[in-house]
Amino acid sequence: MNVDFLPVYRPDLSGNEKLYVNQCLDTTWISSIGDFIDRFEGGFREITGAPYAWCVSNGTVALHLAIHCLDIGPGDEVIVPTFTYIASVNTIAQTGAKPVFVECRSSDWLIDIDDVEAKITPRTKAIMAVHLYGAVCDMPALSALAKSRGLHLIEDCAEALGSTYDGKHVGLFGDVGTFSFFGNKTVTTGEGGMVVCKDEALARRLKTVKGQGQSPTQRYWHVELGFNYRMTNICAAIGLAQIERLPTILARKRAIGDLYRRLCAERLGNIVSFQKLSANVVSSDWLVSLLLPEGTDRTKVMGRMQENGVDTRPVFYCAHQMPMYSNSEHFPVSEAIAAHGISLPSYPTLSSADVARVVETLANALV
C-alpha cells in the first residue's frame, strides 16, 4: 500500500492508553470490575454534564439497553430516521417493537420533525433522534413534541460526543442518550459504548439490566431479565486516556472540518454541499461528509480518489431500502443524500497539508 495513503479514520492513541492498559495487566483487573470503569464513567459525566453514565460493551447494546429499559417491546412503534446507521433501527426491532421510518431535512440531513408528527399513532412509544456526523437534531422542538404527545425521546449520540445545542451536550435532552467508542468514533475503546440519563430510577434500572439483572445488594439473585452488556476495565482504561485528551481531539477535528469547508468553497465553489447547521449547534465534526453534485458517478469519483491514495466512504444507505425493512415507502430527501454523500478522512492526526491534498484529489476526481 502507498505510504501516503490517507484512511477515513485512524484513532490517536498517543496519550496514557498504553500506561493504563499495562496497569490493568499488572494488577490483573482485566474484566468488568475495576478502577478505570469508575474513572471513565466519572470523566464522562463531567464532560457531558450527565448525572448518570454507565459504560457498556458497544454503542449498539447501549441503544438496545436504553430502549428495553423504557419498556418498549412488541406492539410498540418507535419513530426513527431512515437515513441513519443500521444499529439505530436494528435495536428497535430487537426489542420486538416496530421501527417507523421518517424523512430527514435537506439542510442538516437530520430527523424531520414535521414527518415525525405525521407518523405518530396510538402505538408510538418513542422518538429516536440520531445526531448524524456530529450535527445536532432540533432538540428543543423534539423535546416539546415528545412531551406534548407523552412519548419517550431517545438520543443516538454515537457520532456526537462533544456536540452541543445552545451549549448543552447531546444526550441530555431526551430520556436517555447513547454513545459509541468504536475504533473510528471521536473517542475509542476498541469496542465500547455509554448510556447516560438524568432520572435516578431509570439509571438504576439501566445498571441492573446491563449486569444480568442482578440485584445490586444480593449476588446471584436476579430481579429481572438482564443482559451481559458490561465493558471491561481494559477498554475503560483506554477510554479514560482518550477523554483526558478530548478537548485537543475535538479542537483538531473541528479545525479539520473548517479547513475542508473553506478549501472546498475556494476550489469547488458550491458544487459540493455540507450539512448546514443552525447557529445553536456546535458539531463534533465526526466524519466530514459532503454531497457530490447530482448526476455524478459516486463510485467512479471514490475509485479515482482511492487510486490517488485517499480513502472515502459512502454515507449510510437508507434503512427502508434494506432487505429486512424494505417496504413501498419513499423518502426522496433521504434517498438523495444517501445516493450522493461521501465521508472524507477526518481523524485528528490528519495534517492541514493532508486536508488540502484530499480536496485537490476530490477536485481532480470530479472533472
Ligand X SMILES: *Cc1c(COP(=O)(O)O)cnc(C)c1O
Q: List residues with catalytic annotation.
A: 185
Please report whether residue 87 would count as binding ligand X according to CB under 6 A. Answer: yes
Least Å distance, CB 132 to ligand X, is: 6
Q: Which residue is nearest to ligand X (CB)?
A: 59
Please report whether residue 59 would count as binding ligand X according to CB under 6 A. Answer: yes
Please report whether residue 174 would count as binding ligand X according to CB under 6 A. Answer: no
Please report whether residue 50 would count as binding ligand X according to CB under 6 A. Answer: no
Please identify, among the stretches 81-89, 118-126, 202-210, 243-251, the one whose residues bind ligand X according to the rule CB under 6 A: 81-89
Q: Which of residues 211-240 bind ligand X (CB under 6 A)?
A: none
75: amino acid identity, one letter: G
Which of 41, 159, 175, 285 lies at the binding interface for ligand X (CB under 6 A)?
Answer: 159
SS3 content of the chain, % helix, strand, coil (to 5): 40, 20, 40
Distance CA 48, CA 55 (A): 14
- Residue 347: name the closest of 13, 2, 4 by CA: 13
Q: Is the dihedral of CA 295, 299, 302, 306 positive or negative?
A: negative
Least Å distance, CB 257 to ligand X, is: 17
Cα of first residue to Cα of last residue in the chain, in angstroms, is 25
Least Å distance, CB 294 to ligand X, is: 25
Sheet containing strand 289-291, strands side by side: 273-274, 289-291, 341-343, 313-314
Element housing 43 (H / E): helix 35-48
Q: Which of residues 114-143 bind ligand X (CB under 6 A)?
A: 130
Please report whether residue 334 would count as binding ligand X according to CB under 6 A. Answer: no
- Residue 124: name the closest of 67, 63, 78 by CA: 78
The answer for 133, left when phi > 0, alpha when psi is -120 to 50, beta otherwise, is: left
Please identify, among the stretches 43-51, 84-92, 167-175, 358-366, the one whose residues bind ligand X according to the rule CB under 6 A: 84-92
Specify the residue, 177 or 301, whose C-beta has the smaller distance to ligand X.
177
Residues that bind ligand X (CB under 6 A): 58-60, 84-85, 87-88, 130, 156, 158-159, 180, 182, 193
